[in-house]
Amino acid sequence: MTYESVIGLEVHTELATASKVFCGCPTTFGVPPNTQVCPICIGMPGVLPVLNKKALEYSIRTALTLNCDINEVTLFDRKNYYYPDLPKNYQISQNYRYLGVNGLLEIVVDGRSKRVGINNVHLEEDAGKLLHPSTASADYSLVDLNRTGLPLLEIVTEPDMRGIKEAQIFMMTLKNLLQYIEVSDCKMEEGSLRFEVNVSLRPQGQQAYGTKVEIKNLNSIKTALKAIEYEMRRQSRVLDEGNQVIQETRLWDDVEMVTRAMRSKERAHDYRYFPEPDLVEVRISKEWQEEIRRHLPELQDAKKRRFIEQYDLPEYDAQVLTSSKALANYYEECLRVYNVPKAISNWIMTEVLRELNERELEPDEFSVTPVHLASMVKMIDSGTISGKIGKTVFAEMVETGKMPDLIVQEKGLVQISDEKELAGIVAKVVAENPGPVSEFKKGRQKAIGFLVGQVMKLTKGKANPQLVNSLLREQLK
Amino acid sequence: MELHSTTAHELAPLLQKRKISSTELTKAVLERIEKVEPRVNAYVTLTPELAMRMAQDADQRLQQGNTVTPLTGIPLAIKDNMCTRGILTSCASRILHNFVPPYDATVVTKLRNAGAVFVGKTNLDEFAMGSSTENSAMKLTLNPWDFERIPGGSSGGSAAAVAAGETILALGSDTGGSIRQPAALCGVVGLKPTYGRVSRYGLVAFASSLDQIGTLVKDVEDTALLMNCIAAHDPMDSTSGNIPVPDYTTFLNHSINGIKVGVPKEYFVEGMDPVVEQAVRKAIDTLAELGAEIIEISLPHTEYAIATYYLCATAEASSNLARYDGAHYGYRSPGTDNIVDMFSKTRAEGFGKEVKRRIMLGTYALSAGYYDAYYLKALKVRTLIKQDFEQAFQQCDVIVTPTTPTPAFRVGEKTEDPLQMYLSDIFTISVNLAGIPAVSLPCGFAGSLPVGIQIMAGSFEEGKILRVAHCYEQAAGFCRSRPTL
Amino acid sequence: MAKISEDDVRHVALLSRLYFTDEEIRQFTKDLNSIFSYVEKLRELDTEAVEPTSHSLKLSNVIREDIITSPLPVDEALANAPEAETGYFRVPKIIQEY
């Protein structure tokens, strides 16, 4: 039978605050274990949480951007479950009155726009990290609480996506948006953006939803898509065999590339949510919402329009350059060093994007920084190097991260613009190539290209092409 | 008079005029402890060396004359559910038998800054759950007035220590009467302030929406002095009230002429010890003689308070006590091979019976399918109880009731029937549900056992309580009675 | 309300992460039944139109600025740990379950 897949997402994103959501511990990623902890995030006896204002404002900002209704009064609740990465054995979250509800995010699928409903947006605290030593004999686990208490925003969608492509576009659109509004760096490899997926199947044309399965442990969009694909296959097999899909949580196994049912002693979850007595209600007035709305960072559409106007870029360039906030920032930082919008754009749209895609890097992780790129373009424009040498220098910058002037100096790549020196070489080329010379003289303009190429060959590409051209024309008169 | 049986307000001028030194005073208290502690068992941990160091520091401050407060150099005992940096904080539980906090509770910081001298940490019912201090995993504290009887609870150690002269001042905590009930049974003055008046940061949570730190001392004036130090807004406690703190001593030595005293009819019911009722009635007569106007009022939802309290308190407790699992601190059961086993064995071995009972009660009340019927229902009845008080305080300034239905009971008398033990909290529990302040102070004796009267006022009206209590105390004079040990 | 069964009590014990002997289960079943039948008293009251009170003191928007405070030195953070190893808390093997 043909089935239609129904997909919903639970997205967790760590908010980019300096301190944790309920205590003042720093939030730096990758520091030694348990060096960013205090009595509050260790959950020691008697300690109390105090809400971080910025975490709250980032949550409101996100909810507004996702077109949510903001609850005028929002509350925190305790979600009770035992796990050693959760030192209090309850998570401060929201259950009875979410921060934002009834939102939507518009995505574009095959040129058509589609709305994905956002059920709710709520703020909670992240849990710590567990390490399971890989040696077979190890009968213990290790706990690092640095991540415990990081502000975590949960975005829950309606089951509005049909098929893998819509899920993929939704995830990418949302990630892009979260980066644009500067609430999260969304580094999936650092866990600051995580997806959980709900998948169910129903026979094509059926209205009622099938039984859904929740999939966890998805550390990239790619993985999430693989897991959805696997799960669709698995469920359709189950249904085709006349069996029922069991409602359960499954974990993605990245090695075997399968989902597996979680072992669970407690079949029914019972989180025993109740109002967090240690935190008071949060009132979000219309004025506060407006204030946050007024200070929203520039979003993609606005930035694109501005790029077209301010930098006189073609729409296509502006579209590509604003496809992610990081790339747009990269572009504008280049312009701050050397303000030639179209030349920089050309380099980014070709060389830079090709390297980033091949290497799966974000612009801010790229060895060629905006200063590198802009300095190099400047050297081309000033005639220090040719555009062709520029590509050599670029490749060298990608590999070594050295500044372009250093590369040019070390490799002796300075363009030859000395007329006397070049005139000699041109004379030599004219003398050695009587055939093309006579053809040119007969009026075949194209023949000059061959002669220029010969000069470049002799100078290893360093000759100033314009100068070579004019010297040749002079000598061939 | 011996130094250990005096009060802070008597000692402070002597210290400040250098008539006595804090070292001398602290020594006297430590000697008293040495003499009577083997019989009273008020302390979980004694800190004599620390006390002597703090006394020397206090003497230096007193000598220099700057940053001197009325508490500088005064010995103080802290209930062992308040975190003290570098000092064992056990909550009288096996599960925290080795827990040394790397931080101070906010009240402890304030008392350190004021120059108080820490004598030790006092015994309590495990995690403050109980009314007799018999639920301590550490030791059995006895009532200094009668060693066959309990001192009340859960702040039984602090109340007994004050009554026995083993400290000058003490801190307690009160979730359903845990300061006022032992104060009544030990013949001392115990104030539970308004919820939010004293920071809860560093107070090991039992029921977060009900817990409040307060004072256990010998008289009303010391209550005012200690409150002046500990009452404050605290940015570390989100539920702390950001309301100016008055100088509580300014409420002392006023007449109560024309003050309206409400007496709720629901608090004089069957099951009450007639001698207790008599003592309280007599105290009310005294208030009338002092010029107060006595009026009968009604708190109609009183009979629902215990059910409401035990649902709210246990639900919060079941979650608050989830963190004691052996993973990051405290007791861990040895020899478990997986995490679920470790959690469950650690908790089974680390908690006492009453704590487990309340965790079970609270977990059940919150579990799927029962939340609306039990927990939410209790939160709604709590609103009705709160409204009872709001309406009552439109008619009167303070409300006067007995603190307990009976004087101190015998060791072991009520341990078998938990419901009976819960029912004995009837007069103190509503105050916590409503979040209002109340004091218990001595109003006479039933035989050799002290009886307490409770005075309540509206939120943040501790001043009114102190005014009435001080006036009564001066007239009645029971605060000068001490047990003979 | 239906009587609380021993199985109910076992389930609550699992949720609470508490091991009990059969005798304790019997005792707690008795205690819970006695206390919850007392609590039934609250049903007498009509609370349809009553707002719940989850906090004693009605406050709102108690928030702090996003400012870093210094964390505990790692040895202090781990000082109370029953077991620690190379900067980590050490716990028995975790069986995947929630």
Quick: pLDDT tens for B403-459: 999 999 999 988 777 777 787 889 999 999 999 999 999 999 999 999 999 999 999
CA C88 to chain centre: 25
Q: Are A53 and A96 in contact (CB under 8 A)?
A: no
Share of chain B above pLDDT 70, in %: 100
Q: Which chains contact C through at least 3 pairs of Cβ atoms less than 8 Å apart? A: A, B
The residue ranges of DSSP E strands in B385-437, in sequence order, are 398-402
Q: What is the pLDDT of residue C85?
A: 93
The predicted structure's pLDDT at residue A219: 85
- Taking CB atoms and an 8 Å cutoff, what residues of chain B touch C57? 194-196, 239, 241, 435, 459
Q: Mean pLDDT over residues B89-104, rounded?
A: 98
Q: How confident is the model at residue A293 (pLDDT cuts 50, 70, 90)?
A: very high
Q: Tell me the residues of A at the B interface, defined by beta carbons under 8 Å apart.
A: 39, 42-51, 78, 80, 82, 84, 87-90, 139, 141, 143, 145, 265, 268, 270, 272-274, 277-280
- Using CA coordinates, name the residue in chain C closest to B361: C32
Check CB contact under 8 Å for B83 and A46. Answer: yes
Lowest mean pLDDT among A42-46, B303-307, B367-371: B367-371
Amino acid code (one letter) for B384 = L
Taking the Cβ of residue C6 and every Cβ of chain B, the question of whether any pair is shorter than 8 Å is answered with no
C97–B contact, CB cutoff 8 A? yes
Question: What pLDDT score was predicted for residue C96?
Answer: 55
CA atoms in the 13 A half-sphere facing the CB of A426: 25
Distance in angstroms (rounded) separating the CA atoms of residues A373 and A348: 9
Residue B404 DSSP symbol: -
Residue B120 CB contacts under 8 Å (≥ 6 apart), including other chains? B33, B43, B44, B45, B46, B47, B48, B51, B77, B78, B167
Question: Which chain A residues are Cβ-neighbours of B195 within 8 angstroms?
Answer: none
Going by C-beta distance under 8 Å and a sequence separation of 6 or more, which residues neighbour residue B98?
B88, B330, B331, C80
What are the extents of the domains in chain A?
Answer: 3-289, 298-411, 419-476
Distance from CA of B81 to the nearest CA of A (A): 8
Q: What is the pLDDT of residue A222?
A: 92
Distance (Å) from the alpha carbon of A272 to chain B's nearest alpha carbon: 5
User: Cβ contacts (< 8 Å) between A26 and chain C: which residues?
Assistant: 68, 71
String of b and e for B235-264 (b: at least 16 CB within 10 Å)?
A: ebbbbbbeeebbebbebbeeebeebbbbbb
* CB within 8 Å: B208 and A278: yes
Please give the interface size between B and C, counted as residue pairs whose CB atoms are below 8 Å apart: 164
What is the reported pLDDT for C1? 59
Sign of the Cα pseudo-torsion (A291, A293, A296, A302, in order)? negative
A 277-306: CB under 8 A from C: 277, 279-283
CB contact under 8 A, B319 and A272: yes
Determine, for residues B204 and A274 on separate chains, whether the beta-carbon distance falls below 8 Å.
no
Instruction: Kindly tell me the burial class for residue A102, based on how many C-beta atoms sit within 10 Å of its own C-beta (0-12, 13-18, 19 or more).
Output: middle
Q: Which of B93, B132, B154, B459 is catalytic?
A: B154
pLDDT of residue B246: 98
- pLDDT surpasses 70 at B18: yes
Which pLDDT tens digit goes with each residue over B347-386? 999 999 999 999 999 999 999 889 999 999 999 999 999 9
ipTM of the complex, rounded to two decimals = 0.96
Calculated CA dihedral for residues B210, B211, B215, B219, nearest 10 degrees: 20
CA distance A422 to A435: 21
Q: For an interface test with C, which of A56, A280, A289 has the most C Cβ atoms less than 10 Å from its Cβ?
A: A280
Distance from CA of C17 to the nearest CA of B (A): 4
Cα distances from B448 to residues A6, A272, A295, B86, C75, in angstroms, run: 77, 48, 71, 40, 53
N-term to C-term CA, chain B: 15
To the nearest 10°, report the CA torsion of A13, A14, A15, A19.
170
End-to-end CA distance of chain A: 78
- Residue A386 pLDDT grade (very low, low, confident, very high; cuts 50, 70, 90): confident
The token pair that represents B62 in the structure block: 């007193």
**Which residues in chain B have Cβ-Cβ distances shorter than 8 Å to A277?**
207-209, 239, 316
Q: Catalytic residue among B79, B121, B192, B414, which? A: B79
Closest chain C C-alpha to A267 CA, distance in angstroms:
9
pLDDT above 50 (res C41): yes
Which one of A134, A142, A272, A289 makes the best mutation probe of the C interface by having the most chain C beta carbons within 10 Å? A142
CB pair distance less than 8 Å for C63 and A56: yes
Q: Give residue-wise pLDDT tens across range B216-245.
A: 999 999 999 999 999 999 999 999 999 999
- pLDDT score recorded for residue B190: 98
Pairs of CB atoms within 8 A across A/C: 141
Judging contacts by C-beta atoms under 8 Å, the chain B residues touching residue A143 are 327-328
The half-sphere exposure of A424 on its side-chain side, counting CA atoms within 13 A, is: 7
Q: Is C7 exposed, middle or buried (0-12, 13-18, 19+ CB in 10 A)?
A: exposed
Q: Which of B243, B172, B244 is nearest to B211 (CA)?
A: B172
Smallest CA–CA distance from A32 into chain C, residue: C87
Q: How far apart are CA B131 and CA B150, in angstroms?
A: 9
Task: Give the residue with greater pLDDT, A422 vs B56.
Answer: B56
Which CA distances in Å does A424 have to A385, A465, A475, C63? Answer: 20, 15, 11, 77
Omega before A93 within 30 of 0, i.e. cis: no
Work out the pLDDT band at C61, boundaries 50, 70, 90: very high
Give phi and psi for A53, each to the nearest 5: -60, -40
**Residue B178 known to be catalytic:** yes
Note if B79 is an active site residue.
yes
Identify from C64, C86, C95 which residue to disrupt to test chain A contact, counting A C-beta atoms within 10 A and taking the largest count. C64
Q: Which helix (H) or strand (E) holds B305?
A: helix B305-320
For residue A437, give the amino acid letter.
V
A266 — pLDDT class (breaks 50, 70, 90): very low
pLDDT of residue B420: 77
Residue C97 predicted with pLDDT over 60: no
Between residues 49 and 88 of chain C, which touch chain B (CB distance below 8 Å)?
50-57, 59, 62, 64, 72, 76-77, 79-83
Residue B310 banded pLDDT, cuts 50, 70, 90: very high
Would you tell me which CATH number, out of the four given (2.60.40, 1.10.20, 1.20.1050, 1.10.3470), belongs to the domain C1-47?
Answer: 1.10.20
Residues from chain A that touch C82, judged by Cβ atoms under 8 A, are none
Reply yes or no on whether the pLDDT at A112 is more than 60. Answer: yes
C-beta separation of A476 from A440 below 8 A: yes
Average pLDDT value for chain B:
96
Among C17, C61, C86, select the one facing A283 at the smallest CB separation. C61
Quick one: tokens of A59? 């949550």
| Domain B3-259+396-480 falls under CATH 3.30.360.10 | no
* Residues comprising chain B, all counted: 485
For residues B324 and B350, is the Cβ–Cβ distance under 8 A? Answer: yes
Q: Closest by alpha carbon to A21, among A97, A95, A79, A76?
A: A76
Confidence band (pLDDT; 50, 70, 90) for A424? Answer: confident
Residues 361-400 of A with CB under 8 A from C: none
For residues B117-150, one letter each, b for 16 or more C-beta atoms within 10 angstroms of the residue's C-beta and e for the rest, the string is: bbbbbbbbbbbbbbbbbbbbbbeebbbbbbeebb
Instruction: Please say whether the beta carbons of B35 and B2 come within 8 A.
Output: no
pLDDT digits over B21-77, tens only? Answer: 999 999 999 999 999 999 999 999 999 999 999 999 999 999 998 899 999 999 999
Interface contact flag, C91 A141, Cβ < 8 Å: yes
Res A418: pLDDT: 79
pLDDT above 50 (res A72): yes
How far, rounded to the nearest angstrom, does the alpha carbon of residue A193 sit from its chain's CA centroid? 10
Q: Select the CATH number that applies to the domain covering A419-476 from these four: 1.20.1250.20, 3.40.50.1820, 1.10.10.410, 3.30.420.10.
A: 1.10.10.410
User: Which residues have a Cβ under 8 Å from the Cβ of A167 and sit 6 or more positions away?
Assistant: A7, A9, A161, A197, A224, A225, A228
Closest partner CB to B338 (pick from C1, C72, C93): C93
Query: Do residue A46 and residue B343 have CB atoms under 8 angstroms apart?
Result: no
Of A98, A257, A232, A263, the closest CA to residue A167 belongs to A232
Q: Would you say residue C10 has pLDDT above 60?
A: yes
What are B431's two structure tokens? 């105050």
Percent of chain A at pLDDT above 90?
Answer: 73
Q: State the smallest CA–CA distance between residue B396 and chain C in angstroms.
A: 21
Token pair 């019997």 is found at C26
Q: Does the pLDDT value for residue B466 go beyond 60?
A: yes
pLDDT classification of A452: cutoffs 50, 70, 90: confident
Q: What pLDDT shows up at residue C86? A: 94
The string of DSSP letters for A329-341 reads HHHHHHHHHS--H
Neighbours of B371 (CB within 10 A): 16
